[in-house]
């Protein structure tokens, strides 16, 4: 019984991890139809923000929960104004430009911090015991954060004026503009928010994975698969794809080891796309957010 | 008419390349020749993407997946068989078969351009993390250890049928150069055939091509598989050039570089990406020797600038520029003739310019 609980927790953590690293990408993709190839680097910058802040004596929690999203969000706004703005409607060029951006960020961070791992943060919150088994309290905390973040995004989109305008812009940008919504501003804010969520995720994962200029690579493959399998709906897509892919990955990895688990995740995603080319939410939960 | 002229252009470039092959070993240093073999492998990779992206309109971000599979398949097969000729064939077939399976899911699922880019990239990244984990002695295929992070050794080429007769580096250079030239001619030929023209038509307007009763999925799958086979061959020469295959062939950096070659060289040309491969290889090699500027930084800036400012790439921009100049000169010459004939009417023509 204890073992089942402990293993289930591991799988749930895998799902939460997937949702956490994908949500920022999903916001930007779902709202703006922009695939941000620099997503991994936003996560990486979040991680570095935490490392730099804690090295300078800032409390770890403040660094992770406030500074990381703030810094990366500002970077996101700057990027949108300087680069993405010129490329709306040209999806392939946006892809290429954000890829250039990703290399640029890797280059800058490598020049400043060097190419090796620079973190010494250990995950806070110690261990918790489930009967005879132990589990990391921090992982439990991350599961909570993933759920809270989903709820937060839902609340912003459903309950605030900004969310209403954003949803309107997402549905029909021209109509929204005709009704007096500054779509350019909405896009800027959306991109900034997506970047901020990515930064938060990167900051939260920094104590577990460490930070490295090229750490983005570790995340982006999984994040892209999750977002594409999920389809256009931000929350329902990310949640359903995370549960499906993360669950299968976790179960297969539990039986055969992590290598095969990742292959299973990829195979499942490709077969899924053959069956549902527009993602899970292209077929089911169409009206959802 | 134009197609025949295009192919004649291909042959002229190929003749120049043959000339270079004959001169290079005489004038260049021995070490440069050895490095050149590996750059030729990369150039074949660039050429494969030039074919499927520039002419097929398929934006494949993970062309390195086929390149890397070719390299690994060659290394493993050559170690097991003990000869390189069959191994090259196996490498090309493995890359093509993998692309055919992946392409079936992607093209027959009617996945859109942008998704395709991300899926192919993801596939190569997953291969990267997969092959990096194979460091234990239990991960081996036949006699070949996969070696995880450190990669596996790739035996040099040998004379067909005689596994003990290894080729010297300068001979491998000849073989690699011959492969590049032949593949270049093949690609130049393919894009002028009916198959190639249909692929270009699909690139221009897929719906219209489909309404003209072409099975666009099949054509895309065809050119995608051909491109992957070429990339696999490139992987073979890259592996032979550095006599080792490491997981980095699947890495994000390699994928990005391949895209940058084609963007810089220009989509819709075959020679542009090849030249860009050579140029950027030596640029990154030069950047690697100094500490001031990071290579990724420069590559990122190059990519962003080209997307924003020179989206067509160097070669098409240059030829376009030359064409407009030629046109303008012809126009001016005609005006001058008109002016000579009717001195008063000349001013009006001059204003119209």
Which pLDDT does position B69 carry in this prediction? 93
Give the contacts of B334 (CB within 8 A, at least 6 positions apart): none
Give me the number of domains chain A comprises. Answer: 1
Touching check for B294 and chain A: CB below 8 Å?
yes
Q: Inter-axis angle of helices A2-32 and A234-241, to 10 degrees? A: 150
Which pLDDT does position B346 carry in this prediction? 47
What is the least distance, in Å, from the CA of B180 to any CA of chain A?
27
- Please say if the pLDDT value at position B94 is more than 80: yes
Distances (CA, A) of B75 to B84, B128, B160: 9, 16, 16
- Residue A211 CA to residue A63 CA, distance in Å, equals 15
Q: What is the pLDDT of residues B215-252, one digit of tens each?
A: 999 999 999 999 999 999 999 999 988 888 888 888 88
Chain A residues in contact with B301 by the CB 8 A cut-off are: 100, 104
3-state secondary structure chain A: CHHHHHHHHHHHHHHHHHHHHHHHHHHHHHHHCCCCCCHHHHHHHHHHHHHHHHHCCCCHHHHHHHHHHHHHHHHHHHHHHHCHHHHCCCHHHHHHHHHHHHHHHHHHHHHHHCCCCCCCCCCCCCEEEECCEEEEHHHHHHHHHHHHHHHHHHHHHHHCHHHHHHHHHHHCHHHHHHCCCCHHHHHHHHHHHHHHHHHHHHHHHHHHHCCCCCCHHHHHHHHHHHHHHHCCCHHHHHHHHHHHHHHHHHHHHHHHCHHHHHHHHHHHHHHHHHHCCCCHHHHCCCCCC
Domain that holds residue A204: 2-216
Q: Which of A92, A270, A277 sits opposite B113 (nearest CB)?
A: A92
Distances (CA, A) of A137 to A9, A211, A250, B311: 11, 21, 19, 50
For chain B, give every domain's residue range. Answer: 2-251, 313-353
Query: What phi and psi, each to the nearest 5 degrees, are found at residue A67?
Result: -65, -45
H or E element at residue B140: strand B140-141
SS3 B152: strand
Residue B190, class by beta-carbon neighbours within 10 Å (0-12 exposed, 13-18 middle, 19+ buried)?
middle
Touching check for B111 and chain A: CB below 8 Å?
yes
Are B275 and B141 within 8 A, CB to CB? Answer: no
Touching check for B23 and chain A: CB below 8 Å?
no
Q: What is the pLDDT of residues B110-161, one digit of tens each?
A: 777 777 888 888 888 888 878 887 777 777 776 777 777 777 877 777 777 6
| Residue A285, in any domain of the structure | no
| Residue A233, in any domain of the structure | no
Q: Which of B106, B295, B303 sits opposite A100 (nearest CB)?
A: B303
Which pLDDT does position B351 carry in this prediction? 44
SS3 B136: coil
Q: Is the backbone of residue B213 left (phi > 0), alpha (psi -120 to 50) or beta? A: left
Q: How big is the A-B interface in CB pairs under 8 Å? A: 127
- Residue B298 CA to residue B285 CA, distance in Å, equals 12
Q: What is the dihedral of CA A278, A280, A284, A285, to 10 degrees?
A: -100
Give the contacts of B86 (CB within 8 A, at least 6 positions apart): B77
| Residue A226, in any domain of the structure | no
Which pLDDT does position B298 carry in this prediction? 84
Q: Please judge whether A270 and B105 are an interchain contact, meaning their C-beta atoms are less than 8 angstroms apart.
A: yes
Terminal C-alpha separation, chain B: 31
Which pLDDT does position A254 carry in this prediction? 79
The segments of chain A whose pLDDT lies below 50 read: none
Chain A residues in contact with B264 by the CB 8 A cut-off are: none
- Residue B174 CA to residue B151 CA, distance in Å, equals 26
Which pLDDT does position A194 carry in this prediction? 92
Q: What is the pLDDT of residues B254-312, one digit of tens each?
A: 888 898 899 888 888 888 899 999 898 888 888 877 766 777 888 888 888 888 888 88
Are B6 and B188 within 8 A, CB to CB? Answer: yes
Q: Which residue of A95, A100, A232, A258 to mutate against B (max B Cβ within 10 Å)?
A: A100
Touching check for B100 and chain A: CB below 8 Å?
no
Q: What is the pLDDT of residues A32-51, one digit of tens each?
A: 888 888 999 999 999 999 88
Touching check for B300 and chain A: CB below 8 Å?
yes
- Please say if the pLDDT value at position B106 is more than 70: yes
Which pLDDT does position B70 carry in this prediction? 93
Joined together, the tokens standing for residue A240 give 């359903």
| Residue A274, in any domain of the structure | no
Helix extents (H) in chain B: 2-27, 30-49, 63-81, 85-108, 113-132, 169-190, 194-204, 206-211, 216-242, 252-265, 271-288, 295-309, 314-341, 346-352
Are A34 and A84 within 8 A, CB to CB? Answer: yes
Chain A residues within 8 Å of chain B (Cβ atoms): 35, 83, 86-87, 91-93, 95-97, 99-108, 110-111, 214, 217-218, 220-221, 224-225, 228, 258-259, 262-263, 266, 269-271, 273-275, 277
Q: What is the pLDDT of residues A110-166, one digit of tens each?
A: 888 877 766 567 777 767 766 666 777 788 888 999 999 999 988 988 889 888 888
């Amino acid at each position: 019984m204890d073992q089942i609980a402990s293993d289930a927790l591991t799988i749930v953590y895998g799902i939460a991890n997937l949702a956490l690293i994908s949500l920022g990408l999903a916001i930007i993709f779902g709202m703006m139809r922009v695939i941000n190839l620099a997503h991994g680097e936003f996560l990486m910058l979040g991680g570095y923000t935490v490392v730099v802040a804690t090295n300078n004596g800032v409390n770890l929690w403040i660094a992770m929960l406030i500074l990381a999203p703030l810094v990366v969000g500002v970077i996101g706004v700057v990027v949108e104004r300087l680069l993405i703005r010129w490329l709306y409607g040209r999806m392939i060029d946006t892809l290429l430009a954000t890829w250039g951006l990703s290399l640029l960020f890797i280059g800058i961070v490598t020049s400043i911090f060097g190419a090796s791992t620079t973190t010494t943060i250990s995950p806070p919150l110690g261990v918790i015991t489930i009967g005879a088994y132990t589990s990391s309290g921090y992982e439990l905390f991350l599961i909570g954060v993933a759920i809270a973040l989903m709820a937060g995004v839902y609340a912003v989109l459903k309950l605030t004026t900004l969310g209403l305008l954003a949803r309107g812009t997402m549905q029909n940008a021209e109509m929204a503009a005709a009704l007096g919504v500054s779509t350019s501003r909405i896009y800027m804010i959306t991109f900034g928010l997506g970047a901020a969520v990515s930064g938060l995720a990167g900051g939260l994962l920094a104590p577990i994975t460490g930070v490295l200029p090229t750490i983005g690579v570790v995340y982006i493959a999984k994040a892209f698969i999750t977002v594409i399998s999920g389809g256009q709906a931000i929350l329902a897509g990310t949640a359903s794809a995370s549960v499906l892919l993360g669950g299968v990955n976790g179960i297969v990895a539990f039986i055969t080891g992590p290598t095969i688990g990742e292959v299973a995740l990829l195979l499942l995603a490709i077969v899924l796309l053959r069956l549902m080319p527009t993602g899970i939410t292209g077929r089911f939960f169409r009206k959802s957010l | 008419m134009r197609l025949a002229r295009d192919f004649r252009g291909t042959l002229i470039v190929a003749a120049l390349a043959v000339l270079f092959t004959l001169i290079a070993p005489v004038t260049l240093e021995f070490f440069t020749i050895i490095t050149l073999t590996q750059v030729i492998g990369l150039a074949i990779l660039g050429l494969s993407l030039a074919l499927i992206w520039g002419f097929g309109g398929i934006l494949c971000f993970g062309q390195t997946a086929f390149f890397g599979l070719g390299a690994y398949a060659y290394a493993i097969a050559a170690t097991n068989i003990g000869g390189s000729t069959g191994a090259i064939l196996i490498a090309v077939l493995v890359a093509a078969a993998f692309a055919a399976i992946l392409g079936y899911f992607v093209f027959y699922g009617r996945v859109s351009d942008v998704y395709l880019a991300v899926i192919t990239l993801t596939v190569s990244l997953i291969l990267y993390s997969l092959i990096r984990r194979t460091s234990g002695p239990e991960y081996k295929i036949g006699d070949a250890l996969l070696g995880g992070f450190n990669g596996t050794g790739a035996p040099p080429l040998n004379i067909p049928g005689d596994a003990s007769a290894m080729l010297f580096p300068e001979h491998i250079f000849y073989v690699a150069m011959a492969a590049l030239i032949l593949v270049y001619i093949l690609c130049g030929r393919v894009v002028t055939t009916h198959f190639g023209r249909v692929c270009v038509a699909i690139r221009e307007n897929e719906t219209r091509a489909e309404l003209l009763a072409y099975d666009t999925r099949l054509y895309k799958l065809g050119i995608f598989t051909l491109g992957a086979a070429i990339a696999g061959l490139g992987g073979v020469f890259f592996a032979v050039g550095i006599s080792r295959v490491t997981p980095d062939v699947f890495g994000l950096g390699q994928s990005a570089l391949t895209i940058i070659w084609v963007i810089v060289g220009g989509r819709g040309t075959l020679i542009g990406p090849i030249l860009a491969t050579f140029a950027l290889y030596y640029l990154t090699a030069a950047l690697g020797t100094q500490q001031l500027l990071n290579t990724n930084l420069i590559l990122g800036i190059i990519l962003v600038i080209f997307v924003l400012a020179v989206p067509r790439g160097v070669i098409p921009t240059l030829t376009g520029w030359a064409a407009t100049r030629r046109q303008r000169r012809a126009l001016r010459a005609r005006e001058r003739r008109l002016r000579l004939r009717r001195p008063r009417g000349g001013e009006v023509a001059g204003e119209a310019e």
